[in-house]
Amino acid sequence: GENVEQHPSTLSVQEGDSAVIKCTYSDSASNYFPWYKQELGKGPQLIIDIRSNVGEKKDQRIAVTLNKTAKHFSLHITETQPEDSAVYFCAASSSHAGGTSYGKLTFGQGTILTVHP
């Protein structure tokens, strides 16, 4: 089955710096890669996602890049703010009609991001 590795496990940055979190996946059939942010006491919230026909996607301070050949994807947060402090999870899915893993997200282990004011 799919395996997703996420690095680093903890990341500490100063406010205004950039933060980068990297994930690799094992299943070449994976075609959907969401990123979630989880704050204490809450469920994961989608912050950005990318589908396999796109190499990069940007939404204001957040961007995700995907390299299907190398089977890795990354989250980039620019101009970090203290409210960006949370746990970030990457995930992968090979969702396709009739696929055996339809609807299943495989998550990385998470990255605890701390942004110091």
- Minimum distance, C-beta of residue 40 to another protein, in the bound complex (Å): 11
Map the footprint of another protein across residues 35-74, applying CB under 8 A: 36, 41-46, 49, 51
Stretch that binds another protein, among 13-21, 62-70, 73-81, 97-105 (CB under 8 A): 97-105
Quick check: 96 binds another protein (CB under 8 A)?
yes
- CB nearer to another protein: give 18 or 26: 26
The three-state (H, E, C) secondary structure of the chain, written as one string: CCCEEEECCEEEEECCCCEEEEEEECCCCCCEEEEEEECCCCCCEEEEEEECCCCEEEECCEEEEEECCCCEEEEEECCCCHHHCEEEEEEEECCCCCCCCCCCCEECCCEEEEEEC
Count of CB atoms situated within 10 Å of the CB of 78: 14
Which residues make beta-bridge pairs with 14?
116
Which residue of 21, 64, 75, 105 would you call a contact of another protein, by CB under 8 A? 105
- CB nearer to another protein: give 37 or 80: 37
- Minimum distance, C-beta of residue 56 to another protein, in the bound complex (Å): 17
Task: Write out the residues near another protein by the rule CB under 8 A.
Answer: 31-32, 34, 36, 41-46, 49, 51, 89, 91, 93, 95-97, 100-110
